[in-house]
Structure 1
Amino acid sequence: MIAIRKATRSDAHDAWYIRRDALLDKCASDYPGTVLAAWTDGAPGEKWTNLVERGFYVATENVAVVATGMLTVATGQIDAIFVRPSHMGLGVGRRMMDFLENLARQHGVTTMRLDATLNAAPFYRRCGWAGETIGTYRSPRGIELACVPMTKTVGVAT
């Protein structure tokens, strides 16, 4: 059974490697190997750990972390939607998106945004997100990647 909870500092390691593995598994056909290597290189540090603790949510199966997601309430920005490759296609990503959208509604967010990797844009469209044009995502690590800026309007919780 999949459960979603607020991430803790101890989830930083799992979150880093789920991100890395998901990117390497699903983005190879859309991004050059050099870009993927720069994007996934390294190990989780204190900055990453603080980010996970502050803003991430994790989906777990039993006690194992299988997916991550982040909502910045102040901006309505969704980030860090990554699913462990072994759990892709099982509805875990959709559950995380539904969870974050409900969280946004509870906080009065009416318009959400995200920057989708090229391979993930069809998934987000199936979840009701809109966006077709190719833009540029600038990662905190200084890497520039082609992305699809997307938006979704959500109603405020009653």
Structure 2
Amino acid sequence: MLTIRKATSDDTLDAWDIRRTAVLAACAEYYPEAFLSAWVDGSPSDKWAHVVERDFYVAVDEGCVVGTGMLTVENGQVDAIFVRSSHMGRGIGRKMLHLLEALARDRGIASMKLDATLNAAPFYRCCGWSGDSISIYRTSRGLELACVPMTKCVALP
């Protein structure tokens, strides 16, 4: 049974590993391998651990963390929706996104935004997000990658 809960500092390594394996598995056809490695290699910093504890949610299946998602309430930004490669295609990312949208709505956020990797943009469109233009996303490591800025109105009518 899949559950989603607020992340704790104990989830830092799982969140890092899920991000790394998901990026390498899902983005390989869209970005150069050397770029992907530079983006996700290494180990989590103290800053990463703090962000996980403050803003992340984790999807747990049979006691194993299998997905992540992040909502920055101050600006309605969604980030870090990653699913363990062994669990991709099971609706975990969609469930995480729906939870983050509900949390935003509960906190009075009317419009949300995200920067989708090229491979993820179709997924977000299927979930009701809008955006077609290509932009540049700058990672915390200073790398630049093509992305699709997307938005979604989540306010109740």
TM-score bin (small chain): over 0.9
Q: Which residue of 1 aligns with 2:64?
A: 64
Q: Which residue of 2 aligns with 1:16?
A: 16
Q: Which residue of 2 aligns with 1:148?
A: 148
The reply to whether residue 135 of structure 1 matches residue 109 of structure 2 is: no
Distance (whole Å) between structure 2 residues aligned to residue 152 and residue 77 of structure 1? 11
Q: Which runs of 5+ in 2 are unaligned?
A: none
Distance (whole Å) between structure 1 residues aligned to residue 156 and residue 109 of structure 2? 7
Q: Which runs of 5+ in 1 are unaligned?
A: none
Q: Which residue of 2 aligns with 1:94?
A: 94
Which runs of structure 2 are paired with 1:23-34 in the superposition (5 Å)?
23-34=23-34
Structure 1 residue 141, shift from structure 2 partner: 1.2
Look up the equivalent residue of 1:125 and give its one-letter code. Answer: R
Over residues 9-43 of structure 1, what are the superposed CA-to-partner deviations in whole Å (9 max), with x where a residue is unaligned? Answer: 00000000000000000101100112101101101
Percent identity between the two aligned chains? 61
Q: Secondary structure at the match of 1:3?
A: strand
Over residues 104-123 of structure 1, what are the superposed CA-to-partner deviations in whole Å (9 max), with x where a residue is unaligned? Answer: 00000000000000000000
RMSD, aligned α-carbons: 1.0
Structure 1 residue 46, shift from structure 2 partner: 1.2
Distance (whole Å) between structure 2 residues aligned to residue 156 and residue 76 of structure 1? 15
Structure 1 residue 45, shift from structure 2 partner: 2.2
Which runs of structure 2 are paired with 1:102-121 in the superposition (5 Å)?
102-121=102-121
Q: Which residue of 1 aligns with 2:38?
A: 38
Q: Secondary structure at the match of 1:151?
A: strand
Structure 1 residue 156, shift from structure 2 partner: 4.2
Query: Which stretches of structure 1, 4 residues or more, deviate above 6 A after TM superposition?
Result: none
Distance (whole Å) between structure 1 residues aligned to residue 139 and residue 45 of structure 2? 16
Q: Which residue of 2 aligns with 1:4?
A: 4
Over residues 28-82 of structure 1, what are the superposed CA-to-partner deviations in whole Å (9 max), with x where a residue is unaligned? Answer: 1100112101101101121111110111000001211000000111100000000
Q: How many residues are treated as equivalent by the alignment?
A: 157
Which runs of structure 2 are paired with 1:69-88 in the superposition (5 Å)?
69-88=69-88
Q: Secondary structure at the match of 1:74?
A: coil
Look up the equivalent residue of 2:42 and give its one-letter code. Answer: G
Distance (whole Å) between structure 2 residues aligned to residue 145 and residue 25 of structure 1? 17
Contact 1:69/1:96, CA 8 A, preserved across alignment: yes
Distance (whole Å) between structure 2 residues aligned to residue 11 and residue 116 of structure 1? 23
